[in-house]
Amino acid sequence: MSIFNGRIPWMEKPVQIIFSASASKDRGYNSNSLQTDQQLLEVQLNSNINYVRRFTGKPYSFSLSAKHCQNLKDRRIILTLPELAFNVSRFTPFQRKIQSDKKAFYEKIGFTYNVKAKATVSTYDSLLFKKENLEDILYGTIQSASVDAPFNLFKYFVVNPSFNYNERWYFKQEDRYFLGDTIQVGEDKVYQATASDFKNGFFGVRDFNFNTNVSTTVTGIYNFKSKRLKAIRHVIKPTVSYTFQPDFSKGTWNYFDTYVNEDSQAEVQYNRYEFLNSLYRTPVSGLKNLLNLNIRNNFDMKILNRKDTVESMKKVPLIEQFNLQTGYDFTADSLKIRPLAISAQSSLFNKLLTWNLGVNLDPYALNNKRQKIDQTYWNSNKRLLRFDNASLAVQMNFKGKDKSGEESTINYGTVNEREYIANNPMMFYDFNIPWSLSMGYNLNITKGIAGNIDSTVISTNVLTLSGHINVTPKWQINASTGYDIKNKDLTLTNIRVERDLHCWVLAFNWTAYPLTRQTYAIDLHVKSAILQELKLSRKQPPGTGSTVF
Instruction: State residue 328 phi and psi, 5-degree precision.
Output: -140, 125
Residues 6+ apart with CB under 8 A from 98: none
Residue 428 DSSP code: -
Distance of alpha carbon 305 from alpha carbon 159, whole angstroms: 39
Alpha-carbon gap, residue 66 to 82, rounded angstroms: 5
Q: How far apart are CA 477 and CA 474, in angstroms?
A: 10
User: What digits encode the pLDDT tens for the residues 415-430?
Assistant: 555 555 555 554 555 5
pLDDT over 60 (residue 68): yes
Select the more confidently predicted residue: 529 or 140.
140
Is cis: bond before 82, omega within 30 of 0?
yes
Per-residue pLDDT band for 51 (boundaries 50, 70, 90) equals confident
Q: What is the pLDDT of residue 514?
A: 83
Each residue's pLDDT tens digit, 204-233 = 999 999 999 999 999 999 998 888 888 999
Q: In the predicted model, what is the mean pLDDT of residues 16-27?
A: 49
Kindly report the length of the chain: 549
Provide the pLDDT confidence category of residue 311 given band limits of 50, 70 and 90: low
Q: Does the pLDDT at position 357 exceed 80?
A: yes
How does residue 412 score in pLDDT terms, banded at 50, 70 and 90? Answer: very low
Q: What is the pLDDT of residues 108-139, one digit of tens each?
A: 999 999 999 999 988 887 777 777 677 788 89
Tell me what the pLDDT averaged over the chain comes to. 81
Q: With cut-offs at 50, 70 and 90, classify the pLDDT of residue 35.
A: very low
pLDDT at 27: 39
**What is the percent of the chain where pLDDT is above 90?**
37
Which has the minimum average pLDDT: 17-21, 236-240, 493-497, 530-534? 17-21
Contact between 439 and 395 under an 8 Å Cβ cutoff? The reply is yes
Query: What would the mean pLDDT of 74-86 be, rounded to a whole number?
Result: 87
Q: pLDDT value at position 4?
A: 42
Q: How far apart are CA 365 and CA 386, in angstroms?
A: 7
Residue 344 pLDDT > 90, yes or no? yes
DSSP letters along 17-86, please?
A: EEEEEEEEE-GGGG--TT--HHHHH--EEEEEEEEEEEETTSSEEEEEEEEEEEETTTTEEEEEEEEEEE
Compute CA 75 distance to the chain's CA centroid, rounded to the nearest angstrom: 26
- Return d(Cα 197, Cα 272) in angstroms, integer: 11
542 or 506: which carries more pLDDT confidence? Answer: 506
Q: How far is CA 287 from CA 260, 276, 373, in A?
A: 24, 22, 22
Using a pLDDT cut of 70, give the percent of the chain over it. 80
pLDDT at 248 over 50: yes
The pLDDT confidence band at residue 406, using thresholds 50, 70 and 90, is low
Look at residue 113 in the predicted model and tell me its pLDDT: 96
Distance between CA atoms of 188 and 210, rounded to whole angstroms? 51
The mean per-residue pLDDT over the stretch 156-183 comes to 90
Least confident of 260-264, 296-300, 356-360, 434-438: 260-264
